[in-house]
Chain A
């Protein structure tokens, strides 16, 4: 799902990963300077070369490969979710189980934009892993109906959007939680942050698409639910996605009414700060959408 997770996981199996990545300050500086000069499109290659430098010319340790491939698994999952609903609408496609129609060209274009970004993130990881990349997760490995919890995800546009909102808001949270582990590697952190805010843009738009498609209003930012609960999506099945999003104290400062501003209500305080999500929780959510035997 993201670069940040990857290094954190590598650290668990290889405590010296950061030293490997950053043996000499000067070496890393030259690497990141090079990164500025090369096209950002070549970033997957650059990342790949970084890991090669970290571990030398030998093959990546199996445990590290596992970690990188885990992140790649999550990216595949996101990509397939969107891609399936687009190829299913393409004449001649073998896909037949998507029965809803996008309400207009704009909505299909937006999902295509998001799909393309997720694909770009997949490519980034595949580039980093090189020949050690796991076999691509096939669409057949996924279950976006989540065992029946979202049975109408391919027949009901609103259900599709509800699940999409869950995916994007989870993505934003998953990235955020691991940023601290990249402090020692500014170049990779930079890339991770740039992916993170793209996910937030996606989340904002998906929420607007949901509003446009139905009668309920979903704010572009994560707010409080109708009953004041953390989950504002209106879908109880995704409570785990929003657990802890209703924090109102940041670094010891109570945001409600801060600075004497009565306008900073609890809802505003919640909306003003997005919260991180730990890796175990992300896995639990991701596994809902993978078939038995394919779960992470």
Chain B
């Protein structure tokens, strides 16, 4: 499935890869030698973006041995969300109100900003672009789009909450925190569109790890999140060192 917006972006990003600045290096210097190793591997197969590990043909590898694995995991999810909202915003369901169209466009740009931020922050350590599969979503149906949006947002919140404790660097943790609350705001908005008042229905999020009586939101480990997201992603995602 081709998305013009995504294809265009990829070209721009490829170009920007060669223009990495010292500032980027300092952002990433925390990872030290381990990161350098990853960067070298990635640089060695620049023409094959997406082949983090050449032996894992056609897929991407999320290596959770360090923060780069977690950040790439977030990057993967933001790619998925951005691709979904780009499609919604470009042709919203006819039943959407003007206000809904405007907010879904906002969300689209938020997710693109998140995706581009991770791409820029990860630099040469970034995984390649994922190919998505939205065949299960009827983009002409408001209920289908809203249902998928809710699934993406709640899953995103659970993913960030579940991955947060894996992050070793405080700067990265804060950045993840800056994003997850925006995802939670999206989730609440979409939920209210589906059923007003369900913005924080933690009982309905129990399967994602929420607990209503303790006032705790969802949190899932990466393996569970990726299993749930699998139906929307064509690219094979290899998870190691989880």
Contact = CB atoms under 8 A, between A and B. Distances in A.
A168 B218 CA distance: 19
B157 interface: yes
A220 B112 CA distance: 18
B182 A271 contact: yes
A187 interface: yes
A227 interface: no
Nearest to A110: B197
B179 A183 contact: no
Contacts of A179: 164, 170, 173-174, 177
B185 A200 contact: yes
B121 interface: yes
A271 B110 contact: yes
A253 B106 contact: no
A120 B215 CA distance: 5
B65 interface: no
Interface stretch (A63-71, A130-138, A255-263, A286-294): A255-263
B178 A274 contact: yes
Contacts of B215: 116-121, 124, 195, 198
B184 A197 contact: yes
A113 interface: yes
B218 A201 contact: no
Interface residues of A, number: 67
B188 A268 contact: no
Given A258-B116, A259-B12, A263-B109, A202 B167 contact: no
A261 B185 contact: no
Contacts of B43: none
A172 interface: yes
A259 B9 contact: yes
Given A196-B180, A276-B177, A269 B197 contact: no
B232 to A, nearest CB: 22
Contacts of B94: none
Interface stretch (A85-93, A203-211, A228-236): A203-211
Contact of B185 (A195, A201, A217, A252): A201
Interface in B1-27: 8-9, 12-13, 16, 23-24, 26-27
B113 A272 contact: yes
Given A194-B217, A271-B110, A183 B178 contact: no
Contacts of A272: 109-110, 113-114, 117, 179, 182
Contacts of A268: 106, 109-110, 113
Contacts of B212: 120
Contacts of A114: 200
Interface string B183-212: 111111100100011011110000001111
Give the interface centre of B112, B175, B210 by most chain A CB atoms within 10 Å: B112
Give the interface centre of A110, A250, A265 by most chain B CB atoms within 10 Å: A250
Contacts of A116: 215
Nearest to A260: B12
Give the interface centre of A110, A120, A204, A263 by most chain B CB atoms within 10 Å: A204
A268 B217 CA distance: 25
Interface string A102-120: 0000100110011011111
A40 B168 contact: no
A264 interface: yes
A205 B192 contact: yes
A198 B216 contact: yes
Contacts of A196: 177, 180-181, 217
A193 B167 CA distance: 13
B112 A261 contact: yes
B120 interface: yes
A251 B169 CA distance: 13
A193 B160 contact: yes
B120 A264 contact: no
B214 interface: yes
A40 B216 contact: yes
Given A179-B177, A252-B27, A264 B161 contact: no
A238 B106 CA distance: 25
Contact of A251 (B121, B160, B219): B121
B164 A190 contact: yes
Interface of A: 39-41, 43-44, 106, 109-110, 113-114, 116-121, 123-124, 172, 175-176, 179-180, 183, 186-187, 189-191, 193-205, 208, 217, 219-221, 250-253, 255, 258-261, 263-265, 268-269, 271-276
Given A114-B200, A197-B184, A219-B103, 11 more contacts: A41-B213, A180-B174, A196-B217, A197-B157, A200-B181, A201-B187, A203-B188, A208-B192, A252-B27, A259-B13, A276-B174
5 closest A-B pairs by CB: A180-B170, A120-B215, A186-B165, A204-B188, A40-B211
